[in-house]
Amino acid sequence: MSFFVEIDHIDRTFPLKDGGSYIALKNIDLNVKKGEFVSLIGHSGCGKSTLLNILAGLDKPTQGGIVLDGRQVTEPGPDRMMVFQNYSLLPWKTVRENVSLAVEKVLKTLPKDERDRIVEHHIDLVGLRNAADKKPRELSGGMKQRVAIARALAIRPKLLLLDEPFGALDALTRGNLQQQLMQICEENHLTCVMVTHDVDEALLLSDRIVMLTNGPESHVGQILDVAIPRPRQRLEVVNHPSYYSLRNEIIYFLNQQKRDKKRKQKQIGAIARNGLEKVNLDIGFVPLTDCAPLVVAKEKGFFAKHGLEQVNLSREPSWKAVADGIRTQRLDAAQMLAGMPLAMTLGYADNPRLPVITALVTARNGNAITLKKEFLDRGVRSLSDLKSVLKDDPVTLATVHPTSMHNLMLRYWLASAGIDPDHDLKLTIVPPPQMVANLSAGNIDGYCVGEPWNSRAIREGLGYAIATDLDIWAAHPEKVLGVREDWTNQHPETHNALVKALLEACEYCDDRRNREEILSLMARPQYMGASADYARPGFIDAYDRGTGEAPESLLRFNQFHVDNANCPGRAEGLWILTQLARWEITAFPRNWIEVLERVRRVDVYGRAARELGLPDNEGNRHPFQLFDGKVFNPDDPIGYLNSLEIGRDLRIEEIIIDPVSESHLAIAV
Ligand SMILES: Nc1ncnc2c1ncn2[C@@H]1O[C@H](COP(=O)(O)OP(=O)(O)OP(=O)(O)O)[C@@H](O)[C@H]1O
């Protein structure tokens, strides 16, 4: 579908006098349909006017571009007209002359009488017939703004841009002009983008309201559809059943942003060496194939290259040990499960809330669902086969941690077939290195885990993979780099160096020419602690599911870098939040935008990527779907949750995350 206005991944960075730069807008990606009225709303300084100026061609983006009606916008043009708050009329000209000046300039090819007719028509349109010969000083503020609107409309722009057009007017005048503008837009099918601070104005006039987050790196936080029928009358709009919930949603968004602004006052620690606050780090990991970037960063010298002189990779027995290590500050950082920073921040099980953040996805995909071999002998080859087994047999499946993608995706997969993962079978937690032994002992009937723990069971004839995660959600985030929020605040330069070192290591890991070497590094006893042969499927060799069929070439089974794999995108973080809530692992945060901004640190990632000369785009915030085709719309997570058939009672809570206090050091069992 082609749009009338395409704002294509725009960044705007301003150079600063001290030689630095300020990233005002980051990755703004937005389309506007013909005849649509879109409002931009956000706190002062978030970049609304900058975006409008770029649309007008008065300013240029640093990255990305604008396409209007199929043509790239590079400079101002008569197809766009801007209406400013301060009217910008020529004081020595009358109303008629002000309007006429624009018409003479832009529509000069038209005959004189036609141009005059247009001028008079627009004077009538804004109700200024009796003031046509007056000069601006003889007009009220509202009348001046009507002249500015008449002047803008008279040249028949394709796109009308309005920068707080009624901000300087008293309430009554503002109300009248809003109504008038709305009528004009509706009757003439105008396409408009308006900047406003006024929530009620946005609701009255807009088809969609685009809410921008605070700068730096302001981006689209959420988009609201205002599905109130047109033509609209103010009273009808205010009495519409959706009005107050939409209004609350905007005010709620703005309040979240206000809190975020206050919190961003950082405490920064002193520099120790190499321009870093700390050069010796303890980093936790669990032995799995996808810990490759950590091993590579250490063994191939990426940590040292970035000034991290002494990095100790601490092999942890379980994901719980990783979480505890971060909580107690035994570890500076850890390779974590993708859902862990979000769940730790929200508080899960009996663990108090602890703000933990991630600025890097270190691995995507790499998991499978393994079932005991006996099921294959009974012909269980699909999800529906498994469903039939559940009617007769008590089945226990294991995942590695409540907050892991294994747990969330296994549950999603089961529920898609009408299997309730808490009632129709038993789900339990087992650390990855203990999976095979538990399967072999008959304690569990299957599990979802990363490699090499599926392939080991397959090679040993204990099990087979009924599905890989590529069958469920290809390119899902799997592992992330997690640190405490107070740690990154104290060590911003060290954190940046760590992200850069791992980002380069991820790039190295994705090059398949390096895989044999990486595998030999990981096979060292201090890392994976399992035969390197078990880690070959998917990582180097074709993937053998152990079903008797030919192994498949799964080139993206372990994805470390390509396709913007490393950016901790917010939309996928939001999907994780929905599933944590769906299964009552955490509450769903009413202030989800604030939580995502706080935990998924795209800004920290972006800085590291830029410093390495890599693209720093977040990817996108468009709807996406898993294998079952159900669309996840990142603007409506609650709607998505309500559309899922199996789940627990939804708990929606405002999650106020305090700064770290001593209470966070308590460890839950
Ligand atoms: N030429 C410039 N040089 C440096 N920084 C700039 C420049 N122009 C704008 N900025 C910064 O970019 C950010 C966005 O500014 P912008 O005027 O677009 O915000 P806004 O949302 O329209 O604010 P307001 O609602 O107060 O009008 C601000 O932090 C501003 O200081």
Distance 42 CA to ligand 1 centre (A): 12
How high is the pLDDT of residue 528?
84
pLDDT for the residue numbered 264: 66
What's the CATH superfamily of 5-79+157-263?
Answer: P-loop containing nucleotide triphosphate hydrolases (3.40.50.300)
Identify the band that residue 669 occupies on the pLDDT scale cut at 50, 70 and 90.
very low
* Residue 50 CB–ligand 1 contact under 6 Å: yes
User: What CATH number was assigned to the domain covering residues 268-669?
Assistant: 3.40.190.10
Q: Is 619 a residue whose pLDDT tops 70?
A: no
For residue 83, what pLDDT is reported? Answer: 85
* Chain-centroid distance, C-alpha 37: 24
**60: Cβ contacts below 8 Å, ≥ 6 apart:** 54, 74
64-119: pLDDT as tens digits? 999 999 999 989 888 898 888 877 888 999 999 999 998 998 888 899 999 999 99
* Contact criterion met (CB below 8 Å) for 295 and 518: yes
User: Mean per-residue pLDDT for 485-496?
Assistant: 95
Q: Which atom of ligand 1 is nearest to the CA of 197?
A: 25
Residues 6+ positions from 56 with CB-CB distance below 8 Å: 76, 80, 82, 161
Residue 241 above 50 pLDDT?
yes
- Total number of residues shown for the chain: 669
Distance from the CA of 506 to the center of ligand 1, in angstroms? 36
Is the beta carbon of 52 within 6 A of some atom in ligand 1?
no
Provide the pLDDT for residue 268.
Answer: 58
pLDDT tens profile 344-393: 999 999 899 999 999 999 999 999 999 999 999 999 999 999 999 999 88
Q: Quote the ligand 1 centre to 166 CA distance (angstroms).
A: 19
- Tokens linked to 106: 């832009």
Check pocket membership of 47 for ligand 1, CB cut-off 6 A: yes
The pLDDT value recorded for residue 125 is 82
Distance 75 CA to ligand 1 centre (A): 20
In whole angstroms, give the CA distance from residue 86 to residue 145.
8
Is 80 exceeded by the pLDDT of residue 640? yes
pLDDT of 530 over the 90 cut: no
Residue of higher predicted confidence among 614 and 659: 614
Residue range 279-288: average pLDDT?
94
pLDDT at 667 (0 to 100): 40
Ligand 1 geometric centre to CA of 557 (Å): 44
What secondary structure, in 3-state letters, does 316-379 show? Answer: CCCHHHHHHHHHCCCCCEEEEECCHHHHHHHCCCCCCCCCEEEEEEEEECCEEEEEEHHHHHCC
Residue 659 pLDDT exceeds 80: no
> What is the model's pLDDT at position 7?
94
Lowest average pLDDT, out of 34-38, 149-153, 306-310, 499-503, goes to: 149-153
Establish whether the linkage from the previous residue to 568 is cis, with ω within 30° of 0: no
The amino acid that residue 15 corresponds to is P
Q: Which two tokens stand for residue 416?
A: 């898609």
Q: What is the pLDDT of residue 356?
A: 97
Check if 218 has its Cβ closer than 6 Å to any atom of ligand 1: no
Q: What's the pLDDT score for residue 257?
A: 87
Closest Cα to atom 26, ligand 1: which residue? 44
The question of ipTM being above 0.90 is answered as: yes
| Ligand 1 atom having least distance to the Cα of 212 | 21
Atom 14 of ligand 1, residue of closest alpha carbon = 47
**DSSP bridge pairs for 193:** 38, 161
pLDDT tens string 387-443:
999 998 899 999 999 999 999 999 999 999 999 999 999 999 999 999 999 999 999
Mean pLDDT computed over 578-587:
97
Question: With b meaning 16 or more CB within 10 Å and e meaning fewer, what string describes 344-360?
Answer: bbbbbeebebbbbbbbb
Residue 664: its pLDDT value, please? Answer: 45
- The model's confidence at residue 660, banded by pLDDT at 50, 70 and 90, is low
Centre of ligand 1 to C-alpha 169, Å, is 22
Query: Beta-carbon neighbour count of residue 32 at 10 Å?
Result: 22
Closest CA to 280 of 300, 298, 299: 298
Q: Assess whether pLDDT exceeds 60 at residue 265.
A: no
Whole-number Å distance, alpha carbon 511 to ligand 1 midpoint, is 41
The alpha carbon of 52 and the centre of ligand 1 are apart by a number of angstroms equal to: 11
Q: Is 44 in the pocket of ligand 1 (CB under 6 A)?
A: yes
Segments of the chain assigned to CATH 3.40.50.300 = 5-79+157-263
Q: Ligand 1: which atom is nearest the Cα of residue 216?
A: 29
* Distance between Cα 514 and ligand 1 center (Å): 46
pLDDT at 54: 95
| Mutate which of 21, 43, 50, 261 for ligand 1 pocket (most atoms within 8 A of beta carbon) | 50
- Indicate whether residue 14 lines ligand 1 (CB < 6 A): yes
Pocket lining: 22 vs ligand 1, CB cutoff 6 Å: yes
Residue 72's nearest CA partner among 55, 88, 58 is 55
CA angle 397, 403, 405 (to 5 degrees): 70
| Distance from the alpha carbon of residue 47 to the mean position of ligand 1, in angstroms | 5
| Ligand 1 pocket test target in 40, 46, 210 with most atoms within 8 Å of CB | 46
- The answer to whether residue 15 scores a pLDDT higher than 60 is yes
Encoding tokens for residue 347?
Answer: 């508080």
From 336, 597, 611, select the one nearest 483 (Cα to Cα). Answer: 336
- Cα 622 to averaged position of ligand 1 atoms, centre (Å): 26
The answer on pLDDT for 137 being more than 60 is yes
pLDDT tens-digit readout, 40-50: 999 988 999 99
For residue 49 and ligand 1, the question of a CB distance below 6 A is answered with yes
What percentage of the chain carries pLDDT values higher than 90?
Answer: 75
State whether the Cα torsion 556-557-562-567 is positive or negative. Answer: positive
- Report how far ligand 1's centroid is from the alpha carbon of 69 (Å): 27
User: What stretch(es) of the chain map to CATH 3.40.190.10?
Assistant: 268-669
> What's the confidence (pLDDT) of residue 505?
98
Residue 525 CA to residue 295 CA, distance in Å, equals 12
To test ligand 1's pocket by mutation, which of 10, 14, 40 has the most ligand atoms within 8 angstroms of CB?
Answer: 14
